[in-house]
């Protein structure tokens, strides 16, 4: 025991050992809780690649964004971006701005999804579209004076 | 066992039990472990173990969280380890001065408290799991928040409180029963 007091590195090792044990226990706890939650929601964790294009050649990707199966694109977007919206009982949710950039004639936020033939425009409201695992989706701020609007590059 | 030792054990047990009830609303934050450890450190492993066992004999039976015999026995045994290891540590540090290396001693006592608390929590969690038919690993893992609180609070108490309390006991009781070098 006296060794720990005579040799400072032995004491440092003892402190590090305590820290390692505590960190390992904490990691084990969170690992268990994660797996438990995963099992409770029937392992429906999915990952989605969600991008945002501000229409000025600035595009950011949130790759491998984790979500739960059954979540809509609106749920995921709102989770990782700053979104303002209006909700209509008939037409559902309409996004009004993302990250402070508002819809303003003639540029609006349109969402797109990547398929086998490239980008295709979202066919339903953002809150009605339930994402699936591995999907690539993009919010594109673009001119809609021509319809259909131009596909993202 | 002489009267001084008996009186010391009784006083430490009373102090442990009293502080346990005072802190009953704060789960896993207790100074009992520290008192048992210091009892062992200053007066030897037998006194330390006795303080731990006797404290749980009272606190375990009249316990606001309930009484489970298996867990009660486990806590008595585990608590006595603080006293036993405290006593062994006291004997091994017999040539050390409390004045010279206060910081190192503080860190060392804190780390020692951490390891003893870990052993205590592991034993009681395993017994709890076996008693209630819970998988042992699950019991240990789910107990981590409580275990962590118990360990960190004991690290703080052991590292900060050990040296002042040992010195205070030495002043009151005298140095004859304490192994540490008397340096004031």
Mean pLDDT along residues A59-87: 92
Residue B67's pLDDT is: 85
Q: Do residues A100 and A74 make contact, with C-beta atoms less than 8 angstroms apart?
A: no
Give domain status of residue A66, yes or no: yes
Mean pLDDT along residues A6-30: 90
Question: pLDDT tens track of chain B, all 184 residues?
Answer: 678 778 888 999 999 999 999 998 887 889 999 999 999 999 899 999 999 999 999 999 888 878 889 999 999 999 999 999 999 998 888 777 777 778 888 999 999 999 999 999 999 999 999 988 888 988 899 889 989 999 999 999 999 999 999 888 878 776 544 444 433 3
The three-state secondary structure class of B7 is helix
Residue A109 Cα to chain centre, angstroms: 18
Task: Please state, in angstroms and rounded to a whole number, the distance separating the CA atoms of residues A6 and A12.
Answer: 12
- This prediction's pTM: 0.66
Give domain status of residue A152, yes or no: no
Q: Are residues A69 and A31 in the same domain?
A: no
pLDDT exceeds cutoff 80 at A112: yes
- Closest alpha carbon within chain B to A29: B141
Give domain status of residue A59, yes or no: yes
Residue A57 Cα to chain centre, angstroms: 21
Residue A70 Cα to chain centre, angstroms: 14
> What residues of B are in contact with residue A25 (Cβ under 8 Å)?
141, 144, 147-148
Residue B182's pLDDT is: 39
Give domain status of residue A150, yes or no: no
Range A117-122, long-range pairs (CB < 8 A, 24+ positions): A118/A151, A119/A151, A119/A152, A121/A148, A121/A149, A121/A151, A122/A73
Cis peptide before A106 (omega within 30 of 0): yes
pLDDT exceeds cutoff 80 at A116: yes
Give domain status of residue A151, yes or no: no
Q: Are residues A68 and A97 in the same domain?
A: yes
Q: Are residues A18 and A92 in the same domain?
A: no
Residue B126's pLDDT is: 94
Residue B184's pLDDT is: 36
Q: Are residues A74 and A111 in the same domain?
A: yes
Give domain status of residue A148, yes or no: no
Quote the domain boundaries for residue A100.
45-143
A6 reaches B (C-beta below 8 A): no
- Determine whether the interchain pair B107/A15 forms a contact, defined as Cβ–Cβ distance below 8 Å: yes
Residue A80 DSSP code? H
Q: Are residues A13 and A73 in the same domain?
A: no
- Determine whether the interchain pair A18/B148 forms a contact, defined as Cβ–Cβ distance below 8 Å: no
Q: Are residues A69 and A124 in the same domain?
A: yes
- Determine whether the interchain pair A22/B142 forms a contact, defined as Cβ–Cβ distance below 8 Å: no
> What residues of B are in contact with residue A21 (Cβ under 8 Å)?
114, 118
Task: Please state, in angstroms and rounded to a whole number, the distance separating the CA atoms of residues B128 and B142.
Answer: 12
Residue A43's pLDDT is: 58
Phi, psi of B105 (to 5 degrees): -60, -40
For A147, what's the count of Cα atoms within 13 Å in the CB-facing half-sphere? 4
Query: How far are the Cα atoms of A45, B32, B136, B166 from residue B17, in angstroms, in the given order?
Result: 49, 7, 29, 20
Q: Are residues A13 and A60 in the same domain?
A: no
CB count within 10 Å of CB B98 equals 19
Cα A108–Cα A114–Cα A115 angle in degrees, nearest 5: 135
Residue B7's pLDDT is: 85
How many distinct structural domains can be found in chain A?
2
Q: Which helix (H) or strand (E) holds A97?
A: strand A92-98
Give domain status of residue A73, yes or no: yes
Mean pLDDT along residues A77-97: 90
Average pLDDT along chain A: 89
In B63-102, the residues whose Cβ lies within 8 Å of chain A are 88-89, 92-93, 95-96, 101
CB count within 10 Å of CB A140 equals 23
Which one of A5, A18, A28 has the shortest CB-CB distance to B141?
A28
- Determine whether the interchain pair B108/A14 forms a contact, defined as Cβ–Cβ distance below 8 Å: yes
Task: Please state, in angstroms and rounded to a whole number, the distance separating the CA atoms of residues A49 and B42.
Answer: 63
Q: Are residues A14 and A57 in the same domain?
A: no
Please report the domains of chain B, with CATH numbers, ordered by start residue.
Answer: 3-173 (1.10.1760.20)
Q: Are residues A16 and A54 in the same domain?
A: no
Mean pLDDT along residues A106-132: 90
Respond yes or no on whether ipTM tops 0.85: no
Instruction: Mutation target for A interface from B107, B109, B134: give the one with most A CBs within 10 A.
Output: B107
Task: Please state, in angstroms and rounded to a whole number, the distance separating the CA atoms of residues B28 and B46.
Answer: 25
- Closest alpha carbon within chain B to A16: B111
Query: How far are the Cα atoms of A152, B22, B76 from residue B129, in angstroms, in the given order?
Result: 58, 28, 17
Q: Are residues A127 and A74 in the same domain?
A: yes
Give domain status of residue A149, yes or no: no
- Closest alpha carbon within chain B to A1: B92
User: What helix, strand, coil percent values describe chain A, rounded to 5?
Assistant: 30, 40, 30
Task: Please state, in angstroms and rounded to a whole number, the distance separating the CA atoms of residues B35 and B82.
Answer: 9
Q: Do residues A52 and A34 make contact, with C-beta atoms less than 8 angstroms apart?
A: no
Check residues A148 and A22 and name the one with the higher pLDDT: A22
Residue A41's pLDDT is: 66
Q: The CATH number of the domain where A105 resides is what?
A: 2.170.130.30
CA dihedral A91, A93, A94, A95 (to 10 degrees): -170
Q: Are residues A23 and A36 in the same domain?
A: yes
Q: Are residues A18 and A74 in the same domain?
A: no
Which one of A5, A14, A25 has the shortest CB-CB distance to B105?
A5
């Amino acid at each position: 025991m006296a060794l720990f007091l005579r040799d400072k590195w032995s004491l440092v090792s003892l402190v590090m050992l305590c820290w390692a044990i505590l960190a390992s226990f904490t990691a084990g706890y969170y690992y268990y809780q994660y797996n438990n939650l995963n099992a409770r929601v029937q392992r429906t964790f999915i990952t989605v690649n969600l991008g945002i294009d501000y229409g000025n050649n600035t595009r950011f990707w949130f790759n491998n964004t984790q979500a739960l199966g059954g979540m809509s694109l609106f749920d995921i977007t709102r989770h990782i971006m700053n979104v303002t919206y209006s909700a209509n009982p008939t037409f559902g949710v309409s996004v009004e701005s993302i990250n402070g950039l508002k819809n303003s004639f003639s540029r609006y936020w349109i969402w797109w999804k990547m398929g086998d033939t490239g980008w295709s425009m979202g066919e339903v409201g953002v809150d009605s579209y339930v994402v699936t695992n591995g999907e690539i989706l993009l919010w594109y701020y673009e001119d809609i004076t021509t319809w259909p609007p131009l596909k993202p590059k | 066992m002489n009267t001084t030792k008996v009186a010391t054990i009784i006083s430490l047990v009373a102090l442990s039990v009293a502080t346990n009830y005072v802190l009953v609303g704060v789960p896993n934050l207790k100074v009992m472990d520290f008192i048992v450890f210091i009892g062992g450190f200053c007066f030897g492993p037998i006194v330390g173990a006795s303080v731990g066992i006797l404290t749980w004999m009272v606190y375990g039976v009249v316990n606001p969280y309930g009484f489970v015999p298996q867990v009660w026995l486990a806590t008595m045994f585990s608590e006595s380890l603080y006293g036993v290891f405290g006593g062994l540590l006291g004997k091994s540090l017999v040539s050390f001065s409390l004045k010279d290396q206060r910081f190192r001693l503080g860190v060392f006592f804190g780390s020692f408290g951490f390891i003893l608390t870990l052993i205590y929590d592991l034993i009681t969690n395993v017994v709890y799991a076996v008693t209630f038919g819970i998988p042992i690993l699950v019991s240990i893992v789910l107990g981590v928040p409580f275990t962590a609180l118990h360990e960190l609070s004991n690290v703080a108490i052991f590292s900060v409180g050990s040296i002042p309390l040992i010195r205070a006991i030495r002043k009151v009781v005298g140095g004859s029963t304490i192994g540490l070098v008397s340096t004031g």
